[in-house]
Amino acid sequence: MVSESVKEKLKEYGQEHVLKYFDELSEVEKKALEKQIEETDMSILAAALNPDQAASKGVISPLPCMELDEIEKGLESFKQTGISAIKEGKVAAVLLAGGMGTRLGSDNPKGMYNVGITHELYIFECLINNMMDVVKEADTYFHLFVMTSEKNHETTVSFLKEKNYFGYPEEYIHFFKQEMAAATDYNGKIYLEEKGRMATSPNGNGGWFISLMRAGLLDKAKEWGIEWFNIFAVDNVLQRIADPVFVGATIEKNCVVGAKVVRKNAPDEKVGVMCLEDGRPSIVEYYELTDELMNAKDEKGDPAYNFGVILNYLFNISELERVVREELPLHVVKKKIPYIDEKGELVKPEEPNGYKFENLVLDMIHQMSSCLPFEVVREKEFAPIKNKTGVDSVESARELLKANGVAL
């Protein structure tokens, strides 16, 4: 028997169909499905009927970036400030590794992908090697928080353990899981991924702070004296993590967030660019950039919206705590969602067939009171692996790794 409260909830949100196979389930499966229904936030699903709602923007104006020449001038001071903060234990890194990596198409978590050619070199290993450069420079380890999701947690944790964390001390590594969100068809009806389980997908990388907090790790971080979190994506194998110069520049400029950016290749390059929106820092997506904004010039005569974000941010913890209750926009993203069809058989679609619901870390920038866009050299710090071949792929990242002296 399905409990009354579960029935009511499904009725309220028009999701009664998820009980279609209920009678075929074992007692354990029935309990598990009821629990999943109770725990799932169905209030967000109405967004499926208005999928572009997150796109509306305020008034956009330029946000000056700290460019390479300015960084060069302040280098020694920034580095000193950054190294001191790291030595004092004020900086930690947060690896966002909860994504599904569907474009890369590997069954394993993305970090387990081997980019080596003549020897093994995993994405996780590249990231830890990059962290070790700073460990040597600052002569101290710093904490690493790793966000996984229900879909890849066990595999990620056991892989890293088996590889002995690629030489990083275990006591400095802390895992936490992000939340999941239901995945629906284009009418907002939740798919079943098994007869007794609703389809779910990680709820986007914007939930990292809340998930870290719910896991009890924010309290720990504060106990350890951490003041800054350097958030970074799993798939950029060249990125500098807890980069002392970046940390120092953000601190010296009294900003509550720093954002690493690269100069755009072309005015219409498909990256989100830094700007002010209604006077607060923000990121405008390439598809939101009007021709007028694309061609606007700053006082130096350079394009005014010329710096794209690379998902490497340094957030001040007090500021994160200040905004934690503010809601982030919900992004409704088209996706291939495996589901149980009318005949009770599992279908793995070749094309997107529904929506997943995500919060994005880039929207957190707009919650911050100040932001320092900090230019980095693309060829030295940006080698994202999104696809197997072509743009932002294993192939292009290998070339960039080689060019930076990494043996493959």
Stretch that binds ligand UTP, among 120-128, 182-190, 201-209, 321-329 (CB under 6 A): 201-209
Compute the distance between CA of residue 108 and CA of residue 315 in angstroms, rounded to an integer. 29
CB 331 within 8 A of CB 357: yes
Least Å from the CB of residue 241 to ligand UTP: 13
Residue 87's Cβ-side half-sphere holds a number of Cα atoms within 13 Å equal to: 11
CB 188 within 8 A of CB 46: yes
Q: How many CB atoms lie within 10 A of CB 253?
A: 15
- The 3-class SS string of 273-303 reads EEEEECCEEEEECHHHCCHHHHHCECCCCCE
Say how many residues touch ligand UTP, by CB under 6 A. 20
Residue nearest to ligand UTP (CB): 99
Stretch that binds ligand UTP, among 35-43, 76-84, 102-110, 313-321 (CB under 6 A): 102-110
Compute the distance between CA of residue 317 and CA of residue 321 in angstroms, rounded to an integer. 6
Q: Which residue of 15, 81, 178, 316 would you call a contact of ligand UTP, by CB under 6 A?
A: 178
Least Å from the CB of residue 175 to ligand UTP: 12
Stretch that binds ligand UTP, among 44-52, 95-103, 122-130, 256-264 (CB under 6 A): 95-103
Interaction of residue 234 with ligand UTP, rule CB under 6 A: yes
CB 364 within 8 A of CB 82: no
Interaction of residue 202 with ligand UTP, rule CB under 6 A: yes
First to last CA, the chain: 58
Interaction of residue 102 with ligand UTP, rule CB under 6 A: yes
Compute the distance between CA of residue 207 and CA of residue 219 in angstroms, rounded to an integer. 17
Specify which residues 260 forms β-bridges with: 374
Which residues from 375-394 bind ligand UTP, rule CB under 6 A? 386
Least Å from the CB of residue 5 to ligand UTP: 29
Q: Closest Cα partner for 364 from 407, 324, 305? A: 324
Between 145 and 307, CB nearer to ligand UTP: 145
Interaction of residue 147 with ligand UTP, rule CB under 6 A: yes
Q: What distances in angstroms separate CA 29 from CA 25, 33, 183, one per listed residue?
A: 6, 6, 20
Q: Which residue of 235, 243, 375, 381 would you call a contact of ligand UTP, by CB under 6 A?
A: 235
Q: Which residue of 6, 44, 65, 96 would you call a contact of ligand UTP, by CB under 6 A?
A: 96
Q: Nearest 5°: phi and psi at 331?
A: -100, 130
Which residues from 284-313 bind ligand UTP, rule CB under 6 A? 311
Between 83 and 376, CB nearer to ligand UTP: 376
Between 208 and 307, CB nearer to ligand UTP: 208
Between 81 and 211, CB nearer to ligand UTP: 211
Between 40 and 203, CB nearer to ligand UTP: 203
Compute the distance between CA of residue 5 and CA of residue 173 in angstroms, rounded to an integer. 40
Q: Which SS3 state, helix, strand or coil, does residue 35 take?
A: helix
Q: How many CB atoms lie within 10 A of CB 149?
A: 22
Compute the distance between CA of residue 47 and CA of residue 384 in angstroms, rounded to an integer. 30
Between 102 and 187, CB nearer to ligand UTP: 102
Q: Which residue of 78, 81, 83, 101 would you call a contact of ligand UTP, by CB under 6 A?
A: 101
Between 178 and 316, CB nearer to ligand UTP: 178
Specify which residues 263 forms β-bridges with: 307
Interaction of residue 99 with ligand UTP, rule CB under 6 A: yes
Between 100 and 215, CB nearer to ligand UTP: 100
Between 322 and 335, CB nearer to ligand UTP: 335
Least Å from the CB of residue 371 to ligand UTP: 19
At CA 300, angle to CA 273 and CA 295, rounded to 5? 45
CB 237 within 8 A of CB 402: no
Between 258 and 384, CB nearer to ligand UTP: 384
Binding site for ligand UTP (CB under 6 A): 96-103, 110, 147, 178, 202-205, 233-235, 311, 386
